[in-house]
Amino acid sequence: MNQTPPSEHESRITIQGVEIALGFPDEFKFEWIGQRDVMDQLLAAWLVIDKNDIPLNPRLVGKPGVGKTTLAYAAAKQINKPVYIFQCTMDTRPEDLLITPVVDKSGGIRYVASALVTAMIRGGVCILDEANRMSEKSWASLAPLLDTRRYIESIVAGLKVSANPEFRICVTMNDDASTFEIPEYIHSRLQPQIFLDFPEAEEEKRILRENLPFLDENIMDYVVSFLQRAHASNENYTIRDGINIARYAAKRISSLKGKAEAKNLLRQAIIMTLGDEALAYISDEN
Ligand SMILES: Nc1ncnc2c1ncn2[C@@H]1O[C@H](COP(=O)(O)OP(=O)(O)OP(=O)(O)O)[C@@H](O)[C@H]1O
Ligand SMILES: [Mg+2]
């Protein structure tokens, strides 16, 4: 089942006589700031330390917006691999994950590889993002890929595709309630679990600065102290909420040009982003 990987510029490959169109990598400027430990854990899981060794399939777990997708992407870039993100949903079908038949202009069938299969063929990294939104049926098709066999079987295209030895996978999962239970045989194939927690104040400020480099220092301090108070109460507000609050407040402050007090606009941005409940975490000192 050995396949020669296509060159970076080739957009199709023939496997067992079947031509398959490949996808393109995702290109973002995601940088990982702070929390070195989780980055090291992820990179170690992907390492291959002997000719008889294989990489692990780590799972990043944490609240929405805590940085799971960003970490997986930044780690893949750190080891210079192309990254292919597959966004999982409740409607993801097994063939969407693997190879989909598409009717072409001449009425014939064309086979198109998913982000996952493209990463397997090219030897890149696949991020199965928000994977616990997927049903058990879709997970089942991944069982051989996630153990020592490292292949998938596409029923639709009638093919087995082996993963390139350079292929790595990382699965991200939210711990919110609107998701499926993952079957035990899949849980045991998605190890280790790496837990992401809220960053410290100083790191949170650096993350805000990285995302919004034009932001005024006072807005940044205000938002960070709001977030830290919310984290201390184990509230689900994350850096993504902080970025949205700060971005909106900065726009309002800029558009009103001194006609309203910045603090009031920040307060308003918090309410408009997170609702009245968030007022509990605004301190009088701000
Ligand atoms: N350590 C970090 N370094 C850089 N950016 C970060 C970090 N943590 C969070 N962010 C920023 O916070 C935002 C949310 O991060 P991300 O989308 O990775 O979270 P997530 O955990 O994948 O969320 P979801 O569960 O909703 O998919 C992004 O804008 C990201 O840039
Ligand atoms: Mg994400």
**For 182-239, what is each residue's pLDDT tens digit?**
889 999 999 999 999 999 999 999 999 999 999 999 999 999 999 999 999 999 899 9
Which atom of ligand 1 approaches the CA of 34 most closely? 1
Does the beta carbon of 32 sit less than 6 angstroms from any atom of ligand 1? yes
Does the beta carbon of 242 sit less than 6 angstroms from any atom of ligand 1? no
Question: How does pLDDT run across 129-186, given as a tens digit for each residue?
Answer: 999 999 999 999 999 999 999 999 999 999 999 999 999 999 999 877 666 778 899 9
pLDDT value of position 54: 96
Helix ranges restricted to H, the chain: 36-46, 68-78, 94-97, 115-122, 136-140, 184-187, 201-211, 217-232, 239-256, 262-274
Does the beta carbon of 243 sit less than 6 angstroms from any atom of ligand 1? yes
Does the beta carbon of 132 sit less than 6 angstroms from any atom of ligand 1? no
Question: Where does the pLDDT of residue 284 fall: very low under 50, low under 70, confident under 90, or very high at 90 and above?
Answer: low
How far apart are alpha carbons 99 and 148 in whole angstroms? 21
How far apart are alpha carbons 155 and 27 in whole angstroms? 30
What is the reported pTM?
A: 0.92
Cis (ω within 30 of 0) for the bond into 192? yes
Specify the pairing of strand 109-113 against strand 99-103. antiparallel
66, 174, 175: residue to mutate for ligand 1 pocket, most atoms within 8 A of CB: 66
For residue 18, the one-letter residue type is: V
Distance from residue 62's CA to the centre of ligand 1 (Å): 11
Closest alpha carbon to 122 in 7, 249, 245: 7
Give CA 113 to chain center in angstroms: 19
Residue 68: half-sphere exposure toward Cβ, Cα within 13 Å? 25
How far apart are alpha carbons 148 and 150 in whole angstroms? 6
Question: How does pLDDT run across 248-274, given as a tens digit for each residue?
Answer: 999 999 998 877 788 999 999 999 999
- Those residues with Cβ within 8 angstroms of residue 6's Cβ, 6 or more apart along the chain or in another chain: 12, 13, 22, 121, 122
Q: Which residue has the least CA distance to atom 9 on ligand 1?
A: 67
Closest alpha carbon to 156 in 190, 124, 121, 117: 117
